[in-house]
Amino acid sequence: MKINENCVGCGQCASFCKKGAIEVLGKARATDACIECGICAPYCPVRAIEVQV
């Protein structure tokens, strides 16, 4: 999963991550705990999350 430059750091993705694998420090970033499930992607209001398939 990639979080692109459109991220505004709102934290919506982090609040829906079942693994707690997204940290928001200004902008969001996926940690090593990310399993790339994509559950967070639909909750991003600016569509900054790109799920690799």
CATH for 2-50 (3.20.20.140, 2.30.110.10, 3.30.70.20, 3.30.450.20): 3.30.70.20
Query: HSE (CB half, 13 Å, CA atoms) of 27?
Result: 11
Would you state the pLDDT for residue 41?
96
For the chain, what are the domain ranges? 2-50
Task: Locate 42 and state its tokens.
Answer: 């639909």
**How do residues 4-21 score in pLDDT, each as one tens digit?**
999 999 999 999 999 999
Predicted model pTM: 0.84
The CB density around residue 36, as the number of other CB atoms within 10 Å, is 12
